[in-house]
Amino acid sequence: MFSQRVLKSSAPLLATAVIGGGLYAASLQSASQTQSAPPPPPAATDRIVQTSTQRSKEPEKIFTSGFSFQDLKLQSSEVVNHNTKRLRFELPDKDAVGGLRALSALLTKATPSGAWLPVLRPYTPISDPDEPGHIDLLVKRYPDGKMSNHLHSLLPGQTLSFKTGPLLTYEWTPNKHSQIALITGGAGITPMYQLTRAILKNPEDQTKVTLIFGVNGDADVLFEPEFRELERKFPDRFKAVYTVSNPTASSPFPKGYVTRELLKAHIPGPEERDIKVLFCGPPAMEKAIAGSKGLLGSQGGVGGVLKEMGYSSDQVFKL
């Protein structure tokens, strides 16, 4: 009874103590939080953090340097014409990019069926170097070509080895020349397509481009839809000229070869000192148009049609 009376009489005091203690503890907690709260970061810190985050999101570039080889899996194989296929290879990461510069090729390695030793061949990728997840090759098959026949036989899921360090065939500098002429034939179209896209894609590069493309038949006029679209987008900066030696009866392309008359009609003459002429094509065509290369792949002198027209060695480069 005594203890009950004591508890009853003490209840108001206990309640007051509990409430008071709670308010005191809450005030201490609030003060502690106020003292420990850090000041807001300055704007400069925000900019640094944002820049660091942006850098961390930049895609990995696969082909930049090195002597090692990396196996890539074939994703798809598309027939383009009677002797050409477009092969798409998966990069090791779906967000990675090839990262190649203009006029860069990749060295491939494979051991074809029946071969004792690996075969090495360079190929120029035709896909956008900033397109993530894959690279594309356009491969023309030659009757006696060990690598080209091997690549045409590949099935999706099989692999091909690529050297991680690219082969730069020519150092392209935006706006170094006001105009360039690209003369090509056969499989030589791939580096010319790669360079044309790189120039016209770069808003800082205002170089004008004229493409002269000589082929055997209508089906050999590769990238014609892509070049037609570039002509539509850049009517004052890009022009493609085709000539077909054996066109069909209903061919939309003119019949003929790459001749002095054709070049004179479409590309700036040698008196335009700011002109650069790049050539890439089969050996016989190279000899006839620009002169054969020298020993060990050196440029050699200018020959053929371009020499007859008066172009100098510093105006012509053979890829």
Query: What residues are designated binding site for FAD?
Result: 121-123, 138, 140, 146-148, 190
Q: What are phi and psi of 225, to 5 degrees?
A: -65, -40
Burial annotation 280-319 (CB, 10 A radius, 16+ → b, else e): bbeeebbebbbbebeeeeeeeebbbbbbeeebeeebbbbb
Residue positions in the annotated binding site? 121-123, 138, 140, 146-148, 190
Matching residue, tokens 């809450």: 26
Count Cα atoms within 13 angstroms, Cβ side, for 136: 19
